[in-house]
Amino acid sequence: MSDCTRTVDDIKTFLQCWKGYDSQQTASFYDVWAKTYEEDSEKINYRAPNLVVDFLNANYPTSNRGDVQVLDVACGSGLVAKLMLELGFKHFVGVDGSKNMLDLATATGYYKDLRLAVLGTEPLPAESGTYDVVVIVGALRHEHIPVSIIRELCQAAKPGGYVCMSRVDPNSELGDKYKECMEKELRLMEEEGLWSCVTNEEMKNYMIDVSNKQEDKFLVGTMYLYRKSLK
């Protein structure tokens, strides 16, 4: 049973615990957090799923969405799939590193398959060239998943398929380094002809900055949409 008495300050204190974690430690942390994840996410105004799905909706074709195959990477409890269902998408495969989060996703009934993998230490468990849309929300940051996963996201997409990503930009040296490395990789993949950028957009008020004592301080980030080359 979740603890509805937790305050924003309680959640901030709890979330400080994962600083400096690697991918495996972060997955274990989410196993613990799963119990109160959705309630906590609401309290800290975690808006990334809404912002990214709105961004995708504005830039993705409206026709035949019911046939689209979606790979939801770092799917968590299923927040992204829930919003995409409302827009006509129906077919989801989810991947996450936390078994307890996958249990929450299973209970939604949104996914035809759910796969456990700690990305960065294990390969992305997805067939190459299979998905019309690959989406990853909230996990591209230094405590979660290394930049190297981006090539695996592209590989999973069909030729002509889309990869939709968000990156949170914490105000820290590690956050700045991650952003620099990620944008370098995105440019390199374009130069290699793997994909092209459809659009990108700043993501404002991503969530409350849990490292800041003031409740009205929010993190920002960037959303990206790429289309895989037809070759």
pLDDT at 155: 98
Residue 2 in domain: no
Residue 73 in domain: yes
pLDDT mean by block of 10 residues, the chain; 231 residues = 71 76 84 93 92 97 96 97 98 97 98 96 96 96 88 98 91 78 96 98 84 72 96 78
156-185 pLDDT tens trace: 999 999 999 999 876 666 678 899 999 999
pTM for the whole structure: 0.93
Residue 209 in domain: yes
Residue 165 in domain: yes
Residue 141: which residues within 8 A CB-CB, separation 6 or more? 167, 168, 170, 175, 178
Residue 3 in domain: no
Residue 167 in domain: yes
pLDDT at 1: 39
Residue 91 in domain: yes
pLDDT at 37: 94
Can you give the residue range of the structural domain that contains 64?
Answer: 8-228
pLDDT at 127: 96
> CA-CA distance, 215 to 12, in Å (whole number)?
10
> CA-CA distance, 196 to 2, in Å (whole number)?
43
Please state the domain count of the chain. 1
pLDDT at 220: 86
Residue 1 in domain: no
Domain of 80: which CATH number?
3.40.50.150
The type of residue at 200 is N
**Pairing mode, strands 91-96 and 157-169:** unpaired
